[in-house]
């Protein structure tokens, strides 16, 4: 074991989902090591501790795994469970932490951000419940990173993680396991594979899944092709690549172009779906039809009883604050609780552990349930496949019927990316200053009835989180929300969320941007984004 002296980096505060920076930033001497030691230092002693380790396979994944294994051995961990070739989707890592009751796990991913030597890398710690470490732990990690003076490592040749095996590195056992099988088994235990398989075999259900050259390729092949008999070409972009084949592994209408083309063609399959870099996000499409993530959560909740595993209905649901309120209406009708949390999957962990919720979801293309403690892209696709196989209706019909019953929440997110941080902070400060005087002000025909900076008190442990975004409500019908992203790696990203409820079935089929245009104009006016940042348009609209 070698003790290596180091000095703190001041920028290792975990964001919405761990530490995300440019690869080159991580490659600075001692940078990754400092953060990893700061994680290890949350344990009084690492002896008798076991961790899961894996990542989405992006550039620097392989090197980082070797660095972490050497450090784990030097810190005298009992055991590290590593995905073969260093690959684990985020949901699979969460499952393994829970299944093997480890003390947590380290996941290497920058999620939906691009990969490659000039792109992004990330690392996050998940706790023993399988979920992203809650704030009280990330705060300790950050504090450790500011006080660090040394880390431990050891001399060793690269550990061969290409084969299923058990190896000793000093006194630490390294177990290399299949990255896919146990996750696929879990999915098979939740969903009705025979009914999905039979619909696929008889040709009444066709799927196109876009793995976006990211980690889900091998999972999709095992589950959709091998176990559910979908044709080989039902999974596209299935070969994981270190730079996602030059693409942006973000499953949305802006980045999943090939899938979109398939779903708009004359022979489009019944369900189109995509996942992101690390497999926790999902996008659901019907033939020439997009399902917003917020609607997807509401529809899952309303239709849970069609899926055997959830036949008695969810015990409760949760959504992040900027996610549309579509699920709230369903929850009210079902008579179950609906929680509103800050953005970040970590805030769902306590609610899931306390059995207060079964499903949770976010506008940022994330949905999941109580089977693990991460959002789960393939789980969501299987949910929809199972639903289509049972209901024998198209995606579009299911969504339209949902709107007819519950009303439609028109929804759009406008991202202003890579803004100078000072200017972005200026926008948020301007909004904060205006909050006190916004109530009762009229913009067009919209009257503000409430304006606030969102705070959250965790109902399980009473931990309070402040400053989670500015919300401006126009009655119960419409909202605009502003917050700074916590996942970007370049300057700051301002997210503007627009939402408006439409109960009139005659008005539920308008073009989204047109319908929301008046609200978008008001959001620009109140926030002064254009004047302050000099940007007249959002970089991406989803």
Which residues are annotated as catalytic? Answer: 111
Sequence-distant (6+) residues with CB within 8 A of 57 are: 85, 86, 87, 214, 215, 240, 241, 242
* CA pair distance 367, 374, nearest whole angstrom: 9
What is d(CA 400, CA 202) in angstroms, rounded to the nearest whole number?
26
- 41 or 343, CB closer to ligand G16? 343
Which of residues 301, 487, 489, 542 is near ligand G16 by CB under 6 A?
A: 487
Contact 324, 471 (CB under 8 A): no
- CA angle in degrees (0–180, nearest 5) for 174-180-183: 105
CB closer to ligand G16 out of 281 and 402: 281
CB of residue 324 vs ligand G16: minimum separation in angstroms?
14
Minimum Å distance from CB 538 to ligand G16?
Answer: 14
Q: Judged by CB under 6 A, does residue 280 bind ligand G16?
A: yes
Residue in the structure block whose two tokens are 């550990």: 159
Q: What tokens does 167 get?
A: 């190896």
Among 344, 349, 361, 377, binds ligand G16 (CB under 6 A): 344
Q: Which stretch binds ligand G16 (CB under 6 A): 77-85, 342-350, 376-384, 468-476?
A: 342-350
216, 341, 364, 468: residue in contact with ligand G16 (rule CB under 6 A): 364
> Considering only 302-310, 362-370, 446-454, 463-471, which stretch makes contact with ligand G16 by CB under 6 A?
362-370
Q: Does 250 bind ligand G16 (CB under 6 A)?
A: no
Q: Shortest Cβ distance from residue 535 to ligand G16 (Å)?
A: 18
Least gap, CB of 477 to ligand G16 (angstroms): 24
Query: Across-strand partners of 446?
Result: 443
Q: For residues 510 and 78, what is the distance between their CA atoms, to the nearest angstrom? A: 59
Asked if residue 89 binds ligand G16 (CB under 6 A), the reply is no
CA–chain centroid gap for 252, Å, is 13
Element (H, E) at 473: strand 470-474
For residue 282, give the 3-state DSSP assignment: coil
Return the H-helix or E-strand segment holding 96.
Answer: helix 90-99
Instruction: Give min distance, CB of 156 to ligand G16, in A.
Output: 31
Q: Which is nearer to ligand G16, 12 or 343 (CB)?
A: 343
* Binding pattern for the stretch 317-336 against ligand G16, x by CB under 6 A and - elsewhere: ---x----------------
Q: Which stretch, 60-68, 222-230, 286-294, 338-346, contacts ligand G16 (CB under 6 A)?
A: 338-346
* Residue 343 makes contact with ligand G16 by CB under 6 A: yes
DSSP-derived 3-state class of residue 468: coil
Contact call for residue 345 and ligand G16 (CB under 6 A) = yes
Q: With CB under 6 A as the contact rule, which of the stretches 135-143, 174-182, 183-191, 359-367 interacts with ligand G16?
A: 359-367
Q: Using the Cα atoms of residue 293, residue 295, residue 298 and residue 303 in order, give the sign of their dihedral.
A: negative
Nearest distance in Å: CB 155, ligand G16: 34
SS percent in the chain: helix, strand, coil, step 5? 35, 25, 40
Nearer to ligand G16 by Cβ, of 49 and 255: the residue is 255
CA geometry: angle at 295 spanning 306 and 322, to 5°?
135
Q: C-beta of 194: minimal distance to ligand G16 in Å?
A: 31
Backbone angles phi, psi at 351, to 5 degrees: -65, -40
Residue with tokens 């007249």: 536
Planar angle of CA 376, 287, 410, nearest 5 degrees = 70
Q: Rounded to the nearest whole angstrom, what is the least distance from the CB of residue 365 to ligand G16 in the complex?
A: 8
Which CB atom, from 76 or from 243, has the smaller least distance to ligand G16?
Answer: 243
- Quickly list DSSP for 327-377: HHHHHHHHT-EEEEE-SSGGGGHHHHHTTS-SEEEETTTEEEETTSSS--H
Contacts of 236 by beta carbon, 8 Å cutoff, 6+ apart: 208, 209, 210, 211, 258, 259, 262
Q: Which of 38, 85, 89, 111 binds ligand G16 (CB under 6 A)?
A: 111
Binding segment (CB under 6 A) for ligand G16, from list 232-240, 283-291, 361-369, 393-401: 361-369
Exactly one of 245, 394, 426, 485 binds ligand G16 (CB under 6 A); that residue is: 485
112 binds ligand G16 per the rule CB under 6 A: yes
Q: Which of residues 2-21 bind ligand G16 (CB under 6 A)?
A: 16-17
Chain centre to alpha carbon of residue 231: 28
The answer to whether residues 374 and 132 touch, using CB atoms and an 8 Å cutoff, is yes
Q: Does 362 bind ligand G16 (CB under 6 A)?
A: yes
Single out the segment in contact with ligand G16 by CB under 6 A; choices: 30-38, 169-177, 308-316, 482-490.
482-490
Give me the residues that bind ligand G16 (CB under 6 A), please: 16-17, 111-112, 276, 280-281, 320, 343-345, 362, 364, 366, 485-487, 495
């Amino acid at each position: 074991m070698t003790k290596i002296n180091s000095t703190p980096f001041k920028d290792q505060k975990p964001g919405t989902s761990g530490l995300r920076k440019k690869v080159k930033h991580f490659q600075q001497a001692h940078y990754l090591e400092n953060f990893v030691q700061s994680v290890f230092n949350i344990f009084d002693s690492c002896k008798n501790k076991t961790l899961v380790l894996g990542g989405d396979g992006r550039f620097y994944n392989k090197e980082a795994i070797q660095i972490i294994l050497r450090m784990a051995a030097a810190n005298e961990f009992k055991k590290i469970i590593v995905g073969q070739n260093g690959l684990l989707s985020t949901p699979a890592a969460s499952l393994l932490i829970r299944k093997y009751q480890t003390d947590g796990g380290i996941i290497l991913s920058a999620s939906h951000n691009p990969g490659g030597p000039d792109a992004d890398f990330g690392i996050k710690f998940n706790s023993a419940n399988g979920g992203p470490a809650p704030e009280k732990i990330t705060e300790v990690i950050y504090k450790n990173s500011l006080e660090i003076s040394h880390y431990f490592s050891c001399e060793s040749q690269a550990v061969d993680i290409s084969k299923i095996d058990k190896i000793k590195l000093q006194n630490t056992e390294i177990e290399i396991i299949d990255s896919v099988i146990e996750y696929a088994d879990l999915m098979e235990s939740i969903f009705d594979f025979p009914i999905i398989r039979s619909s696929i075999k008889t040709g009444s259900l066709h799927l196109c899944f876009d793995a976006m050259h990211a980690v889900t390729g091998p999972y999709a092949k095992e589950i959709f092709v091998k176990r559910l008999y979908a044709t080989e070409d039902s999974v596209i972009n299935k070969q994981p690549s270190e730079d996602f084949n030059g693409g942006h592994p973000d499953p949305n209408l802006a980045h999943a172009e090939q899938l979109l083309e398939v779903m708009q063609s004359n022979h489009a399959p019944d369900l189109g779906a995509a996942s992101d870099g690390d497999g926790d996000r999902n996008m659901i499409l019907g033939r020439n039809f997009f399902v917003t993530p917020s609607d997807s959560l509401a529809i899952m909740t309303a239709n849970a009883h069609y899926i055997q595993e959830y036949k008695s209905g969810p015990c409760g649901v949760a959504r992040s604050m900027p996610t549309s309120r579509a699920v709230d209406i369903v929850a009210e009708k079902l008579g179950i609780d609906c929680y509103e949390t800050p953005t970040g999957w970590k805030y769902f962990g306590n609610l899931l552990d306390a059995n207060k919720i079964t499903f949770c979801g976010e506008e940022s293309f994330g949905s999941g349930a109580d089977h693990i403690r991460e959002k789960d892209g393939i789980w969501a696709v299987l949910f929809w496949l199972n639903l289509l196989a049972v209901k024998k209706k198209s995606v579009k019909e299911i969504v339209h019927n949902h709107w007819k019953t519950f009303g439609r929440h028109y929804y759009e997110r406008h991202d202003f990316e890579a803004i100078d941080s000072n200017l972005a902070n200026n926008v948020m400060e301007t909004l904060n200053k205006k909050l006190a005087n916004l109530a009762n002000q009229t913009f067009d025909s919209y009257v503000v009835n409430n304006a606030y900076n969102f705070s959250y008190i965790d109902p399980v442990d009473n931990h309070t989180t402040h400053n989670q975004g500015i919300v401006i409500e126009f009655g119960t019908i419409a909202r605009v929300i502003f917050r700074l992203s916590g996942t970007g790696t370049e300057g700051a990203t301002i997210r503007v969320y627009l939402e408006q409820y439409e109960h009139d079935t005659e008005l539920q089929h308008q073009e989204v941007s047109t319908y929301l245009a008046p609200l978008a104009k008001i959001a620009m006016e109140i926030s002064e984004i254009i004047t302050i940042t000099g940007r007249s348009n959002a970089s991406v609209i989803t």
